[in-house]
Amino acid sequence: MLGLYEVFYAGYLFLRLISAAIVIYCVLSWFRHTFRAFYTLRRFIQPFVSPFQRLSLRVMRYFQAPIDFTCLFALIGYQILGRLWWQLYYLLARAL
């Protein structure tokens, strides 16, 4: 049976996996998109990145910048979520 720490650590590892996949996707996007791994990775991270696209479009319109900040906002968002995840663990660990 899994303990509370193992469950939260697995969730944290999943967040780290998503962040690493986003970074790898960004690096691969600088090259030609002929890599099969690029399209597979894009399908994997698209559900995790899509909530941040609206914010990125607003920033692009406001600053009239041709740069897509979606992946950057997603990385920042998942870093914040990871910290909140551990805060929730500490609160639950104290309560139990």
Q: What is the pTM of this model?
A: 0.88
Report how far residue 60's alpha carbon sits from residue 83's, in angstroms, rounded to the nearest whole number.
27
Report how far residue 19's alpha carbon sits from residue 62's, in angstroms, rounded to the nearest whole number.
26
- In 3D, which of 8, 2, 4 has the Cα closest to residue 81? 8
| Confidence check: pLDDT of 94 > 90 | yes
Predicted local confidence at residue 17, as pLDDT: 97
Predicted local confidence at residue 76, as pLDDT: 97
| Confidence check: pLDDT of 1 > 70 | no
Assigned token pair, 38: 């690029």
pLDDT tens by residue, 6-58:
999 999 999 999 999 999 999 988 887 787 888 999 999 999 999 999 999 99
Predicted local confidence at residue 85, as pLDDT: 97
Count of alpha carbons within 13 angstroms of residue 82, beta-carbon side: 16
* Domain extent listing, the chain: 4-95
